Structure 1
Amino acid sequence: MMQEANTPWTVSLLAGGFAGAVEGAATYPFEFAKTRVQLRQEVGKPTPKNPFKVVAQVYQREGLSALYKGCSTLVIGSIGKDGVRFLSFDTIKNQFKDPETGTLTPMRNLAAGMLSGVVASITCVTPTERIKTALIDDARNEKRYMSMTHCIKTVLKEDGFIGLYRGFAGTTLKQAGATAFRMGTYNTLKDYEKKHDIAQNTATNFANGSVAGIVTTLTTQPFDTIKTRCQSARGASTVEAFQSVIADYGIKGFWKGTTMRLGRTVFSGGILFTTYEWAAAILNPLLLPKDQGLRE
């Protein structure tokens, strides 16, 4: 996946942004279901663990459009998030890699991913996640936001610019961890496969991405749950979100929505990296000087 140091930065940015948009739109119903489950429910009211059941219930009660509430915000955010994430990861990893083999140790892969996750959270992830979550939360209760634009204006009016960064701590911890494990796992698998002459194709890219998605979900779910509580329509501080999860469900509540998120990340990881590889393969010949060649 990740390109050599001489690959134009525009390849990482454009291919990453395109991959993020495709992945976000294709898997959004799972993200919607996961967010619904993580938000506060009525006391004593059970919440289904099957993501398909949540999607079906929302579809039956609220229609197809409800399943894509906040989707445009996520897609826009994914374009920026994954464009920045792939660009920053490629840039950072080139500083960390072994100059002779061109590979990274697993720990350096994780470190490069962690730093790129922080960059992505600061530049675009936190604001777009805040609006997406507020739209999903609002749709099940007050329904006061008429659109993404109206939601942004309302948040700015009520809380100021800082309102867009509500949940910043949880989001940054999630992004740092998620990017570290997703990028790190994917690249570790790729390096292993290269050493053992395993063919790189759509199937291996998708499988590697799916494994990376599973590892990412299981290790970072508590941060995702706290982030969701912080970014609800009414909002909450990180401490308040932490306390509310404990009060509602106990320690196990931090893994609320894991099944929903796995339903998405298994597919999203495969889609994201496969699309990135495909887009980079098309862009590289157009943007890379011919005498520099391409990485296999």
Structure 2
Amino acid sequence: MSAKGKEKEKPIASLIAGATAGGIEAFVTYPLESLKTQLQFHADAKTTPWSLLKDTVERRGIKGLYAGVPAVIVGNAVKAGVRFTTYDQFKSMLKDDEGNITAPRSMLAGLCAGMMEAVIAVTPSETIKTKMIEDSKRNVPHYKGTMDGVRKIVAEEGIGGLYRGVGPVMLRQGANSAVRFSSYSTIKQLAQGSLPPGSVLPGWMTFGIGSMAGVITVYTTMPFDVIKTRMQTIEAKKEYRNAVHCAYRIITEEGVLKLWKGTVPRLGRLVLSGGIVFSVYEKIYPVAASLLP
């Protein structure tokens, strides 16, 4: 994304910049992610982000909003590194002779990058996060910490326990990256067209473009996120045969709008996330690339 024209992106620089951006973004936005996940547990339509925030802080303090955060910071750093590295490589392959890439090709590159990050990094970290958040709401938590949670999940469910909901995660991440990268690239090109040739977008504009891409991403991919969360809960194995059965039960038992439950905190998180991750990436990539042979 930082490379211009026919210049070839450097995978290591993409990995360093992406991982740095992902780790920072995960820590800053995690409370919103925690609230979104908790909202998706509740069938009660009266439960709101604000009531959950108040209840969580009153019962468990601020640290209650950070249950499971270590796994997500590590997972987010890895997934962002994988996402940006693979996206940049797919984008390079899909550029035309002039070094330009169309919106459909940018979307295809994002889709491929999202699928890869889902398998390599996202599913295990999201499973751990979801189980840790749900477990933290119990009077006597089963997991004593992130590492204890990982050990017990593997002991009780096998390695497959870390990959519950991999199908919905692949769909969500593929759709997320396809929509986010294509919308970011399109808006960025329009913004650059309004500036003098050779000008670099100021940081505030990069943040704003990333935030706009986040808004578009939330509303188009929210159902995948809700299904993914349900498939990764502690009792999911007993409740749902597969992702399609999970979606069917949500729609028939709770209504189709339940597929957009948790939109408000996820919107807040991805608006911040889009702004942070693209801004940090655009700043770190040139520095990392200049230090590499």
- Normalization by structure 1: what TM-score? 0.91
Q: Structure 1: how far apart are the matches of 2:82 and 2:25?
A: 15
Counterpart in the other structure of 1:11 = 13
Give the Cα separation in 2 of the matches to 1:90 and 1:281. 14
Partner of 1:278: 283
User: 1:70 — aligned with what?
Assistant: 68
Residue identity (%): 36
Provide the C-alpha distance between the structure 1 equivalents of 2:274 and 2:9, rounded to a whole number of angstroms.
23
> Match of 1:161?
159
Instruction: Tell me if 1:106 matches 2:103.
Output: yes
User: What is the SS of the residue equivalent to 2:46?
Assistant: coil
Q: What is the match of residue 112 of structure 2?
A: 115
Tell me how far apart the structure 2 counterparts of residues 196 and 152 of structure 1 sit (CA, whole Å): 50
Task: State the shift of 1:39 in Å.
Answer: 1.1
- Residue 265 of structure 2: aligned partner: 260
Query: Whole-Å Cα distance in 1 between the matches of residues 100 and 253 of structure 2?
Result: 45
Structure 1 residue 18, shift from structure 2 partner: 0.4
For residues 127 and 84 of structure 1, the distance between their equivalents in structure 2, rounded to whole angstroms, comes to: 14
* Match for residue 241 of structure 1 among 215, 233, 246: 246
| CA displacement, residues 42-92 of structure 1 (integer Å, 9 cap, x when unaligned) | xx57211xx354323311221111110011111000011000000000000
- Superimposed CA distance per residue, residues 110-141 of structure 1 (whole angstroms, 9 cap, x where no aligned partner): 11000000000011111110110010011113
Deviation >4 Å, runs of 4+ = none
Distance 2:45 2:217 in 1: 29
Separation of aligned partners in 2, 1:189 and 1:21 = 25
Contact 1:221 1:254 in 2 (8 A): yes
Amino acid paired to 1:228:
T
Q: CA deviation at 1:164?
A: 0.9
Inter-CA distance 220–248: structure 2 relative to 1 (3 Å threshold) = same
Q: Could you tell me which residue of structure 2 aligns to residue 29 of structure 1?
A: 31
1:68–1:248 CA distance, 2 compared to 1 (3 A): farther
SS at 1:27's partner residue? helix
What is the count of residue pairs matched by the alignment? 283
Counterpart Cα distance in 1 of 2:285 and 2:137: 40
Q: CA RMSD, aligned part only?
A: 1.6
Q: Return the alpha-carbon distance in structure 2 between the equivalents of residues 191 and 98 of structure 1.
A: 16
Deviates further, 28-37 or 229-238: 229-238
Question: Residue in 2 aligned with 1:20?
Answer: 22
8 Å Cα contact 1:21/1:75 also seen in 2: yes
Letter aligned with residue 133 of structure 1: T
Determine if the alignment matches structure 1 residue 47 to structure 2 residue 47: yes
Unaligned runs of 5+ in 1: 290-296
8 Å contact from structure 2 (residues 9, 88) kept in 1: no
Provide the rounded CA distance (Å) in 1 between the counterparts of 2:36 and 2:178. 22
- Contact 1:230–1:238 (Cα < 8 Å) also in 2: yes
| Partner SS state of residue 57, structure 1 | helix
